[in-house]
Amino acid sequence: MNFQSLKKIESHDFYLDVAFRRATKKVKEKTIREHDRLKKAKMLEEVRINTVRNTLTEPLNKILLNFPSLDNLDIFYQELIRCTLDYKDLKKSLGSVKWAVSKINLFSKEYLLKIKKSVDHGRIRKLRIEYYGRISSILKQIKKYLSYLEESRKIMKSYPAVKTSVFTVCIFGFPNVGKSTLLSRITDASPEINAYAFTTKRLNLGYINLPGNKIQIIDTPGTLNRPDKMNDIELQAYLVVKHLADLIVYVFDPTPGNDMKDQKSLLLNVAKYKKKVLTYLSKQDIADKKTIYEFQERFKEIIINPSVLKEKIIELSKESKI
């Protein structure tokens, strides 16, 4: 799923202003060869109302078409939305836009009929004012929902376009242990890398490209060992483990300030998902040799070379297809 196609949602005032200005312009440009002044006025009002209706319903319908059907999304994206947005508010906002489109069409048909039955110019002008007022009221009623959808769009555009049908590897571990650096070493991805905790605040993607196939690697936000008190950023990492990962690469950090016991405890939490796990030791260039040796003794199968890790990932991906 790719959320990058979601277009900017404007304010209700913007849509109204465009619709009313376009309607005025259309009426001025319209040439009607009709000697009956009342009939001509009715025809011009028909142009005005249809222009307002079309100018408003077109962008509103595009909002409904651009946003994915939430209930039909992959379970991973459904839960990702729930942990980054208010799922109920998002559905309610989309429902309000659908309601507005229906009301605009309904009132437009109603006022076209009323104008058709009018017997004087004063009545036509009065109906025009009423129509504009009711249309403005509809847009005003969805003002807050349009605003929420725009905020939601900005957040959803940051979602990665994960492929749910390919072999997927989740890089997992505490904050600032070197997960993003590892991603850049085993794939062609170039994630932003900084030297402070919780550097990664969203999911980063990279791929190992093979002949006729590819392996998806997801660098997840760092998570602390607190499964019952996770924030929304940490929860994203567990969503990848739960719904997408075929393989987990757990990254250990041997540098000072990163307790081996805490890191092992987090590893045990991840192991509860019963996914295949590879362990990798990062930052060996700045860790002391004694600590590195202790990690290697404690975790006999820990991998210390990115190239070896990459080959192991490729091997396991091939085995999964047998």
Record the pTM.
0.79
Structural domains of the chain, ranges and CATH numbers in brackets = 3-156 (1.20.120.1190), 168-320 (3.40.50.300)
Alpha carbon separation from 218 to 125, 139, 144, 252 (Å, rounded): 61, 41, 35, 17
CA–CA dist 184, 80 (Å, integer) = 24
* Tens-binned pLDDT, residue by residue, of the chain (322 aa): 678 888 999 999 999 999 999 999 999 988 777 678 888 889 999 999 999 999 999 999 999 999 988 888 899 999 989 888 999 999 999 999 999 999 999 999 999 999 999 999 999 999 999 999 999 999 999 999 999 999 999 999 888 888 888 999 999 999 889 998 999 999 987 655 444 444 446 788 899 998 888 999 999 888 876 666 667 777 888 889 999 999 999 999 999 888 888 999 999 999 999 999 999 999 998 888 888 888 888 888 999 999 999 999 999 998 887 5
* Other Cβ atoms within 10 Å of 65 Cβ, number: 8
Q: Is the dihedral of CA 165, 169, 170, 176 positive or negative?
A: negative
Cβ distance 89 to 31 under 8 Å? no
At which residue do the structure tokens 């850049």 appear? 184
> How wide is the angle at C-alpha 212 spanned by C-alphas 161 and 319, nearest 5°?
90
Cα-based distances in Å from 257 to 199, 236, 295: 17, 24, 15
